[in-house]
Amino acid sequence: MLSYSYIMLLMIFTVGIFTGIGVLYSKGKISTTDDFLTARGSTGTKTLSATLMASFLGVFLLFTPPEAGILGGLPAIIGYAMGVASLYGAFIVLSPKVRNYLPEGSTLTDYAWKRYGKKMYGLTVILSLFYMLVHLVAELTAIGMVASQLAGIPLIHTTLLVGFGTMIYTAYGGLRASMFTDLIQMIFVGILLVGVTAGFIYYGGGTHTIFTRIGTNTPQLLSLSNWGGIQYGLTLCIAVFAANLFHQGYWQRIYAGRNNEILHKSLKSSILLVVPIMLLTGFLGILAGAFHAGDNPSIAVFTLASSLFPKAFIIGLFLLALVLVMSTVDTLLNGIVATFTIDGRRLFKQLKEESVLPFARTITILLMIPAAILAAKGYSVLYLFFVADLVCAGVFFPLFYGLFSSRCNEKTALWSALLGIGSGIPFFVAGKLLWSFLTPVVVSGGICLLAVRYQKEKIETVQ
The DSSP result for 384-438, as a single string, is HHHHHHHHHHHHHHHHHHTTT-TT--HHHHHHHHHHHHHHHHHHHHTT-HHHHHH
**Domains of the chain with CATH codes:** 4-378 (1.20.1730.10), 380-463 (no CATH)
Instruction: Specify whether the CB–CB gap between 171 and 30 falls below 8 A.
Output: no
The pLDDT score that the predictor gives to residue 62 is 85
Query: Helix, strand or coil for residue 27?
Result: coil
Report the distance separating Cα 22 and Cα 289, nearest Å.
39
pLDDT digits (tens, 9 = 90+) for 376-410: 888 777 778 888 899 999 999 999 999 999 889 99
User: What is residue 326's DSSP assignment?
Assistant: H
Report the distance separating Cα 429 and Cα 425, nearest Å.
6
Burial class (CB in 10 A: 0-12, 13-18, 19+), 7: buried
How far is residue 265 from each of residues 47, 81, 104, measured CA to CA in Å?
12, 19, 22
378: left (phi over 0), alpha (psi -120 to 50) or beta: left
- The identity of residue 6, as a single letter, is Y
Which regions of the chain are under pLDDT 50? Answer: 460-461, 463
pLDDT digits (tens, 9 = 90+) for 60-110: 788 888 988 998 999 999 999 999 999 999 999 999 999 999 998 888 999
What pTM was estimated for this model as a whole? 0.89
How far is residue 186 from each of residues 341, 367, 374, 395, measured CA to CA in Å?
28, 25, 27, 32
The pLDDT score that the predictor gives to residue 87 is 93
Give 268's contacts (C-beta < 8 A, 6+ positions apart).
88, 92
Report the distance separating Cα 79 and Cα 85, nearest Å.
10
Report the distance separating Cα 162 and Cα 371, nearest Å.
11
